[in-house]
Structure 1
């Protein structure tokens, strides 16, 4: 196979005046290899001509021994957020002071009394005592005045509401969100608005036992304490049917994904599980306007189907740990005894006698430790 081609300069070529250069090598290339300059196979040129390389093997061919090109793992797609209407955001509702409603109600009552005097409905004793003029009787005008006064009084008194600290009211008019009332004191709200009361105080909820698993996949039953509050009343009330039930489902889903360790296990495992649970539940509940501060396991137990087996395993592990501790203590005691006897010159022992002494001391110490153990 021809590997190189020579460049023959012609007359008038600007290369004639320069020093002789090595001919540019051809490249070995096929459909599955990188372009390789031939001069790299024969390193006789101290300054080879650099040739740009194109991408390497695209895929591995069966039976060729070629290494496949490393591919970057595709980034995991982020989890979609809760599908809540982005336009549904809490906004303050338009309300009036309660004095306005009181004045309107009193105005309606006064209008009704005036209309009754006008229509002559007041008792005759009151007419004579007040020396009122003769009445005009009940006619269309009097009925219209009654209707106006009654509507004014009913609207004034029916719109009165008492705002309480820690509670809010979500207002809706004909199915459309009209705002949230967080003010306290006596207020007047449009009587046509549908009001839904929401508790916005800091709340805690202790769950019932939920299924979970530890890092090894052993089934557990976990009860958690959730500290939370409603941050966006519009999304919590109108964005989901039951925000408390939604929070309960978020906690159960998080327990299915986050391993929970038994108390007394790996140091920091409880804190790590608490942080992981809090992050996951807070991210899932943020879409419906809930703010989660902590999700902490308060009771962790093995599931009934594995409780007996895990109890036996735990007892065996504790027994093995105790035996290892006793054996270590006995070996240290024997070593210390033999060393002190030898260093003080009380006995002179050869290898056989040393082994016999170590054996007898070990048996004696083990018998004493085992007998004194509860």
Structure 2
């Protein structure tokens, strides 16, 4: 009688007993590949629009030269003429096989000629044909000249030339909340005809709305003008049209890339204050200019007074104590400042 063994124990019960039970081989499971960590987004970075499915992207459609279709039409016409001239096409009640094939051949020639003529199109430079069949995208034809494609898909012409659009005065606000009326010029074109037609209802209207949105975001980052005095440092403003245009182009191109629109440039033509704040901002600008002018005049007057007093003291023309020196400086400052102000007003 053999000793009892626990079925979960895989070895002999006693050390001196030989185990005859085969040990099952366990194949180690391959370790799962380590997940590649995604880079953390930069602080303040804005995510771009999601890229659409690859099925909704432009691909070339099948098309050939239209002269082949013209040649086929001429060939069918010649064959039909031969049949009409050399065969009796009058119908009979009980036609024989020899009498039935000429009308069938004539009908086949007519169908071939009709299909060849129906598929003829004229491809123009700067335009493309987008083909859809039962709502499914079949491809885009960008060939020019006389061409032939299948007559069954629906054709939609798309303008792929370089185009520009000038906006109306837009209602935006700068970083200080001042209302502005900028006018923007956008240079763009349709790069992917499939996305431009199938992803949005009207790609031109989509572009206009994205221009308004991008202008509002970019203009809200900086003030329109800086009214700082000399010595306070220069501040970035919306008057730097080169940097402003580059940033606006980058933001607008990222927003329209998902619908197949390529933006080459978006530049502000001119930036004006809104009518309700134009007068107040003009007074503020004039005050800032006047303050800069007075600061410059005062600096030049003080330099002139200092130079005059130093020359009088060095040459020993008069001997002055501190009280007399202060009185002389005061009188010279008033005289020089009055003269400079009168000369500036006369100019």
Q: Does TM-score exceed 0.5, indicating one fold?
A: yes
Counterpart of 1:236 (choices 166, 177, 196) is: 196
Counterpart of 1:150 (choices 110, 134, 137) is: 110
Give the deviation of 1:82 after TM superposition: 5.0
Does structure 1 retain, via aligned residues, the 8 Å contact 2:249–2:265? yes
- Which residue number corresponds to residue 137 of structure 1? 90
Does structure 2 retain, via aligned residues, the 8 Å contact 1:82–1:284? no
Give the deviation of 1:354 after TM superposition: 0.9
Give the deviation of 1:93 after TM superposition: 0.7
* In 1: Cα distance, 2:71 partner to 2:225 partner: 64
* In 1: Cα distance, 2:58 partner to 2:225 partner: 41
Q: Which residues of 2 match residues 260-339 of structure 1 at below 5 A?
A: 262=224, 266=236, 269-339=240-310
| Superposition RMSD in Å | 2.7
Q: Which residues of 2 match residues 181-192 of structure 1 at below 5 A?
A: 181-192=141-152
Counterpart of 1:107 (choices 72, 75, 100) is: 75
- Which residue number corresponds to residue 92 of structure 1? 60
SS for the counterpart of 1:258 is helix
Gaps of 5+ in 1: 1-73, 120-134
Q: Give aligned pairs, total.
A: 287
* In 1: Cα distance, 2:48 partner to 2:327 partner: 73
Counterpart of 1:254 (choices 209, 214, 219) is: 214
* In 1: Cα distance, 2:315 partner to 2:44 partner: 71
Does structure 1 retain, via aligned residues, the 8 Å contact 2:118–2:151? yes
- Which residue number corresponds to residue 37 of structure 2? none
- Which residue number corresponds to residue 373 of structure 1? 344
Residues 76 and 341 of structure 1: is their aligned pair in 2 closer, same or farther, counting only changes over 3 Å? closer
Q: Which residues of 2 match residues 27-38 of structure 1 at below 5 A?
A: none
Choose between structure 1 and 2 for higher RCO, CA contacts under 8 A separated by at least 6 residues. 2
Counterpart of 2:311 (choices 336, 340, 351) is: 340
Q: Which residues of 2 match residues 165-244 of structure 1 at below 5 A?
A: 165-244=125-204
| TM-score where L is the length of structure 1 | 0.69
Q: Which moved more, 1:258-267 or 1:196-205?
A: 258-267
SS for the counterpart of 2:200 is coil
**Per-residue deviation, residues 34-80 of structure 1 (Å, max 9, x unmatched):** xxxxxxxxxxxxxxxxxxxxxxxxxxxxxxxxxxxxxxxx9779647
Does structure 1 retain, via aligned residues, the 8 Å contact 2:184–2:269? yes
Give the deviation of 1:284 after TM superposition: 0.9
SS for the counterpart of 2:49 is coil
* In 1: Cα distance, 2:225 partner to 2:84 partner: 78
Gaps of 5+ in 2: 1-41, 227-234
Give the deviation of 1:240 after TM superposition: 1.1
| TM-score where L is the length of structure 2 | 0.74
Residues 160 and 263 of structure 1: is their aligned pair in 2 closer, same or farther, counting only changes over 3 Å? farther
Counterpart of 1:353 (choices 312, 324, 339) is: 324
**Per-residue deviation, residues 298-351 of structure 1 (Å, max 9, x unmatched):** 111011221111111111111122111111111111111111221222222211
